[in-house]
Amino acid sequence: MDNLLDINGLRVKISAGSNEFNAIDGINLNIASGGTHALVGESGCGKSITAYSIMGLLPNVASVTGGSVHFAGDDLLKKSESAMQGIRGKQIGMIFQEPLSSLDPVFTIYNQVAEAITLHENVNGNELKERVTALLKKVHIPDAEKRLKSYPHQLSGGMRQRVMIASAISLKPALLIADEPTTALDVTIQLQILKLIKELKNEMDMALLLITHDLGVVSYMCSHVSVMYAGRIVESCATEELFSDPKHPYTKALLKSMPQGRSEGKKLDTIQGTVPMMTNLPGGCRFSDRCEYANEKCKQSEPALTEISAGHFVACSKEGN
C-alpha cells in the first residue's frame, strides 16, 4: 500500500526565554492508507508536538527547523495557513487529550459539531441538523436529538470525548490523529472510547495515528508502533514483533514495567533514573544514563535509527550501530 503520511527528518525547536532545545530531533514515521500506527513514550518525549506539527498547530514558542511531512504526496510544512485550514478537519481529523478544554463552554454541542461541517461544506437548516444528529448517534451518544442543545459542562467526560470524536470524523477524513484520547477518563470508559475509535476507523477505512504512553492500548489498537524517547524514535516495527522481540533497552524496560501478566503481590519493574531535561541531555545515546547495557561508546556517540531486519528499526549501538 502507498503511504498516506510520510514524516522524514522532522525537527522542531522550542524557544522559551533563554531556553532553546529540539523537542523533536529528526524523526521518521509513515502510515499506509487505512493503516494504524502508534507513537508511544513517556510524557514530554515529543509525541504531541509531532501531532501538532502534522496539523500545523504548533504553539508560538515552537518552530519547524527541518524535515518534511508529506500527506497524500504534498508537504504540509510548505502549505499556507489558509491551505491548512482546508486540510484540517476535512482530510485530517484530530481527537485531543482533554475534551473539556477543547470544547467551547459557551456553545452548544450542536453548534460545535455543526461548525466542523460548515467550515468546509455549504450545508444548513434541517440537513445540517440531521447530519449532526446522525454523527452523535454514530458515536453512541444516547438521546442524540436532546443532546444537541446541551453544553459541554452538562455532559460526562466520556460523552464529551464522544462529541470530540463526532467532530473529528464529521467529514470522513483520510487520517485520524488521536492524542491520548482516554487520558482523563475512568478505566471502564477508556475501553468504550477505544472500541469506538477502532470501530469507526474500520468502518470509514481511515488511517489512524494513535499517541499514547500505554503499551496495552497499542497492542489492542495498532498494527505498527514507534517508541519515542527524549525527542527521538528509538525503535519502530510491527506491534506484534515489538512485544515478541523488542530490541532497544528502553522498549524492553517499558514492557517489563507493564502490570499485565504479573502475579498478585509481585513488585513491578521500574526504569532507573529519570527522563532527562531536553535542555540538558546526556552525551551520546539519550538513554545511556538509564540503560543497564550502556558502555563508553553509548555515551560518546548517538546511534542512528537503523533497519536491523525487514521493517524493524532500532537506534542502539548494541544492535549493530
Per-residue model confidence (pLDDT) at position 264: 67
Per-residue model confidence (pLDDT) at position 229: 96
**Angle, to 10 degrees, between the axis of helix 125-138 and the axis of helix 109-118?**
110
Cell of 210: 494513535
Q: Find, among 102, 127, 103, 106, the residue nearest to 117 by Cα.
A: 127
235 and 314 Cβ atoms separated by less than 8 Å = yes
Domains recognised in the chain with CATH numbers:
3-102+173-259+268-319 (3.40.50.300)
Per-residue model confidence (pLDDT) at position 211: 97
Taking the complete model, does pTM exceed 0.85, yes or no? yes
Gyration radius (Cα) of the chain, Å: 21
- What is the arithmetic mean of pLDDT over 106-119? 95
Per-residue model confidence (pLDDT) at position 100: 77
Report helix, strand or coil for 27.
strand
Q: Provide DSSP, 201-227.
A: HHHHT-EEEEEES-HHHHHHH-SEEEE
Share of the chain above pLDDT 70, in %: 97
Q: Tell me the pairing of strands 92-95 and 175-179.
A: parallel
Q: Find, among 308, 261, 311, 315, the residue nearest to 288 by Cα.
A: 315
Q: What angle do CA 305, 306, 312 make, to 5 degrees?
A: 100
Residue 223: pLDDT band (50, 70, 90) is very high
Q: Measured on CA atoms in the order 246, 236, 95, 197, is the torsion positive or negative?
A: negative
Per-residue model confidence (pLDDT) at position 262: 58
pLDDT at 261 over 70: no
Residue 111 identity (one-letter amino acid): N
Q: How many CB atoms lie within 10 A of CB 48?
A: 18
- Share of the chain residues as helix, strand and coil, in percent rounded to the nearest 5: 35, 25, 40
pLDDT at 15 over 90: yes
Which has the minimum average pLDDT: 15-29, 129-143, 192-206? 15-29
Report helix, strand or coil for 79.
coil
Helix (H) or strand (E) holding 10: strand 3-16
38 and 210 Cβ atoms separated by less than 8 Å = yes
Q: How many CB atoms lie within 10 A of CB 280?
A: 7
Q: How many CB atoms lie within 10 A of CB 211?
A: 22
